[in-house]
Amino acid sequence: MKKMNSAIIILVTFAACFISSSSARATLQVSEKDLNFEINENGTFTVSASVMSLIFAPVPEDISIWFSYSEDSNVYPLPNTSIIENGTTGHLEFTVRAFKAGHTTIMVHASPPIVNTKDAFVRVGVYKSYGWIVVSTIVGWIYFICWSVSFYPQVITNYRRKSVVGLNFDFLGLNLTGFIAYSVFNIGLCYIQEVQMEYHIAHPTGVIPVEHNDVGFSVHATVITAVTIAQCFIYERGDQVIAKSTVAVLALVWSTAGVFLLLTALHVNKYTPWLTFLYFFSYVKLGVTLTKYIPQVVYNYKRKSTVGWSIGTVLLDFIGGLFSIGQMFMVSANFDDWYSLIGNFTKFGLGIASISFDVIFMVQHFCLYRHSPSSTDSMDSALIS
């Protein structure tokens, strides 16, 4: 009797699968979401279809496949007469050939229109030389290391001098706020699934623009900046205090963030609430990066000295900025995609702004105030040499 009941349950289960397979919506999948190859080579991907019920079942009817392409496509058109036959899952293979370097998104469409093609797309990147890919990767690690290490000369300078005189407190307050905002943005996009879903709603064929090393860098920068601020409570600081105007700006930023969080929690924005909330923090980081060095430049000018402000930090930041911008030009040239440089103008503009301030600091240190006593400590001298 028990064996008969088990058999009945199995038969009912398979019947349910069959019934749901015949009525459920078929879904198209592609084997590769990102396809990168050299201009003189080819790339391949497969398209398959299945019905998701209790199991992935074959499609119950013929499905016609065709393709569309993003604007200014750099690949030869694929055949638009392919069919996934009834009772199969397809696995049709397509070869992509390019006539020039660049980026293209291939969208897969299907008929009948009840077929789900939401995730059926391939981002194609065609480059001129793999060697430049390797060089670009190396350059990326160089600027990542330079920027990560750049926080330490100031900490070491403060420790050796047992003083933070010369280090502007307004800069520190703005810098900490900027890196906290940057960390919140990166962690949210990299690890919170709901935010990632909202991002893909807003950018269906886009790639999450944050990776694990971005999270590591921003969190590391936040911690080291907090350590530097802690030194201000331990070591000699003279008569330095953070300006009331800076306190007001920081209070406005964080109170606005609090209001934004409340509105987000109340679902005032029903489309992409948490993604929009995180974008607020990205704008905070943008504003901080454009303004945070101004108090230190003015402070050096008023004192007619750069003593206490680590030139080692400036030099490492300058080198990192040059390599960062250099990598952007390398990638654009290798993929013959100069629009991406313009499209990512925020990153490019921030890099230029940061380098410009570094140049100002170097002029102050090496030219205008070079005869100030004890302009460098041993750490900075070692970095210069």
Q: Kindly write down the DSSP assignment for every residue of 3-47, as one continuous string.
A: HHHHHHHHHHHHHHHHHHHHHSPEEEEES-SEEEEETTS-EEEEE
**Where does residue 353 rank: exposed (0-12), middle (13-18), buried (19+ CB within 10 A)?**
middle
pLDDT band at 21 (very low <50, low <70, confident <90, very high): very low
pLDDT at 247: 97
Burial (CB < 10 A; 0-12, 13-18, 19+), residue 330, is middle
Task: Single out the residue of 321, 318, 304, 299 nearest to residue 365, CA to CA.
Answer: 304
pTM here is: 0.84
Q: Which 3 state secondary structure label does DSSP give 339? A: helix
Which band of pLDDT confidence, cut at 50, 70 and 90, is reported for residue 271?
confident
In the predicted model, is pLDDT for residue 381 greater than 50? no
Q: What is the pLDDT of residue 167?
A: 97
Question: d(Cα 26, Cα 119) in Å, to the nearest integer?
Answer: 12
pLDDT digits (tens, 9 = 90+) for 81-135: 888 888 777 789 999 999 999 999 999 999 887 788 888 999 999 999 999 999 9
- Binned at pLDDT 50, 70 and 90, residue 344 comes out as low
Which comes out higher in pLDDT, residue 211 or 301? 301
Contact of 82 with 62, CB cutoff 8 Å = no
Of 54-58, 102-106, 129-133, 348-352, the poorest mean pLDDT is in 54-58
Calculate mean pLDDT across residues 328-344. 84
Q: Average pLDDT, stretch 186-208?
A: 90
- Per-residue pLDDT for 203 more than 50? yes
Q: What is the pLDDT of residue 343?
A: 66
Q: What is the mean pLDDT of the chain?
A: 87
Residue 200 — pLDDT band, cuts 50, 70, 90?
confident
pLDDT classification of 50: cutoffs 50, 70, 90: confident
How much is the pLDDT for 4?
Answer: 52
2-6, 56-60, 163-167, 191-195 — which is least confidently predicted?
Answer: 2-6
* Mean local confidence (pLDDT), 2-7: 52
Q: Are 121 and 205 in contact (CB under 8 A)?
A: yes
pLDDT at 182 over 80: yes
Q: Buried b vs exposed e over 265-279: b needs ≥16 C-beta within 10 Å?
A: eeeeeeebbbbbbbb
Q: Whole-angstrom Cα distance, residue 289 to residue 296? A: 13
pLDDT for position 52: 64
Q: Which residue has the higher pLDDT, 227 or 118?
A: 227
Report percent pLDDT > 90 for the chain. Answer: 68
Mean pLDDT, residues 28-32 taken together: 91
CA distance 339 to 261: 34
The yes-or-no verdict on residue 201 having pLDDT over 90 is no
| Tokens linked to 63 | 């499905």
Distance (Å, rounded) from C-alpha 362 to C-alpha 365?
5
What is the pLDDT, as a whole number, of residue 60?
Answer: 77
